[in-house]
Amino acid sequence: MAIDSSSREDHPGPSIKRKPSLSKGTSGGTGTAKEVSDLKKATFHQTRQIKDWEADDRDVPPAQNPVVCSADWAYQATDLVKIDEEGVRAAADYINKSLETNSYTPRTWRIHSLHICPPEPYSPAEPQTKKCLDWIFLIASLNFSFWSEKDDNDRYGVEWREGWESSKYRIWTGYWSLVAAINRALEEDIPIIDSAFYSSSELCSDALIEYVFRPCHRSKEDLPMLKDRISIMRENGNILCEKFGGSFQNFIQEFQRKHQNRGTALQLVQMATETFPTFRDETHYKGHKLYFWKRAQIMIAETWAAFYPPSPAGPHPLFPAGAAIHQLTMFADYRVPQIMHHLRILAYPPALTATLQAGALLETGCREEVSIRAASILGVERMREEIAKMRRGDEEGGKDAVSSVVIDFYLWDLAKSVEGGGESVGVIQTVEMVPAHRMRSIWY
């Protein structure tokens, strides 16, 4: 089973019907005195931690990921999606056994046929190292909103090889259509991962980018939000060129210099969100600023996995003092919450289930969206804790360590496998798979 970390989506359900939010950001009632008190305590705790983080010297590792602090507060403030502790324990046991049985590790990233992998042993001077990093950066920049109202034959797809080493062709859909289109362009000698190229409308016109992402013959739609993607390519490419000599490798080297080769994955995520506004996945709910950072975290997690050393005991070439990858959370999108609900890790109230089944298009920052994303983050954190207990190991880099990143990778792969009929989770109790929540956004 290949790590399919990158974006998520695909075909979440029936056609879109706009439907009002269940509450437009209200908590759905006054609640008991204890619930109000708990929320006030959570508000104080979350606000203090976020303010402490915002005031921090970024050279000092933060005590906790602000995404976790945000999720903790939002989970209580929205009071909608719930974490089922029985489901958490059952799923954690199932996932733990599956990870061990299938030898599912960060190195699994390297086996996917469409990935561009760096050379081993690590060599910063090798052109393939820069190529891999620039490829990861562009894909992470465009890694959002692939779902379609159309059926599998009509939806956006890209025809390309089954892999870099294959002579057979197939049609790729969803997130993999993005990867296939970029790979196809590289094969056609279009330098699409060169920021100096794609940031320039003279060198790389909108028409050329449209050509790069052209659909296959059977598709009856184009890549969703293509104009937004072009705008992001221009903006991110210009920032890389103006501040980092036009490469993501230089961005990482500046990070290493700044932190004297002791920086963590979370600090690199923070640097990405500070540098590139289009990675700043943040929203406000009831007057509180919430951090989700889906694409920023997944970009750094992909980078960590791509360069993960052959031996977990060896130093990571990009994080020689330790990545502290356990500080990153899952990547709150719409595909992983869907499988988490199926596994009974998350419990949806009937009204939310009805909204999803109706194919309603949610508004960014509405109660339902915030609650689903927050509960998903906390649900994976709970599973990580349970798996750590099972393995009696919780140190990043240790042989028994399991991060929320790897759990997320696994859950997304599992969702795709279950959807395609390739895997059944009948060994544990599940509920009916409901459509993923729908919205159009550059954040996921």
Nearest CA-CA partner of 295 in 273, 279, 316? 279
Q: Is omega for the bond preceding 121 within 30 degrees of 0, making it cis?
A: yes
The pLDDT value recorded for residue 421 is 74
At 196, list the tokens.
């100096």
Higher pLDDT, 408 or 59: 408
Domain boundary assignment for the chain: 66-110+280-420
Report how far residue 193's alpha carbon sits from residue 174's, in angstroms, rounded to the nearest whole number. Answer: 20
Q: Is the predicted pLDDT of residue 394 greater than 70, yes or no?
A: no
Segment 406-433 mean pLDDT = 88
Contact by Cβ (8 Å): 215, 425: no
The pLDDT value recorded for residue 426 is 76
- pLDDT digits over 176-231, tens only? 999 999 999 999 999 999 999 999 999 999 999 999 999 999 999 999 999 999 99
DSSP at 323: -
Nearest CA-CA partner of 11 in 334, 294, 353, 330? 334
Nearest CA-CA partner of 345 in 378, 371, 367? 378
Label residue 50 by pLDDT band (50, 70, 90): low
Q: Which of 289-298, 360-369, 389-398, 422-431 has the lowest mean pLDDT?
A: 389-398
Q: Is the pTM of this model over 0.85?
A: yes
Tell me the H-state helices in 163-225: 175-187, 195-198, 206-212
- pLDDT digits over 359-388, tens only? 999 999 999 999 999 999 999 999 999 999
Report how far residue 358's alpha carbon sits from residue 229's, in angstroms, rounded to the nearest whole number. Answer: 28
Label residue 165 by pLDDT band (50, 70, 90): very high
Residues in the chain: 444
Beta bridge mates, 173: 157
What torsion, rounded to 10 degrees, do the Cα atoms 299, 300, 306, 307 define? 160
The pLDDT value recorded for residue 235 is 98
Report how far residue 60's alpha carbon sits from residue 277's, in angstroms, rounded to the nearest whole number. Answer: 22
Say what percent of the chain tops pLDDT 90. Answer: 79
At 335, list the tokens.
């595909």
Label residue 60 by pLDDT band (50, 70, 90): low
Q: Is the predicted pLDDT of residue 86 greater than 80, yes or no?
A: yes
The SS3 assignment for 284 reads strand
Q: Which of 115-119, 278-282, 285-289, 415-419 has the lowest mean pLDDT?
A: 415-419
For the stretch 93-107, what's the b/e string if a residue is b when 16 or more beta carbons lie within 10 angstroms of its beta carbon?
Answer: bebbebbeeeebebb
Q: What are phi and psi of 141, to 5 degrees?
A: -65, -30
Higher pLDDT, 200 or 394: 200
The SS3 assignment for 37 reads helix
Residue 20 burial by Cβ neighbours in a 10 Å radius (0-12, 13-18, 19+): exposed
**Residues with catalytic function:** 333
- pLDDT digits over 215-230, tens only? 999 999 999 999 999 9
Q: How far is CA 384 from CA 83, 346, 349, 404, in A?
A: 14, 15, 25, 6
Nearest CA-CA partner of 149 in 438, 444, 443, 417? 438
Contact by Cβ (8 Å): 91, 384: no
**What mean pLDDT value characterizes the chain?**
89
- Cα of first residue to Cα of last residue in the chain, in angstroms, is 23
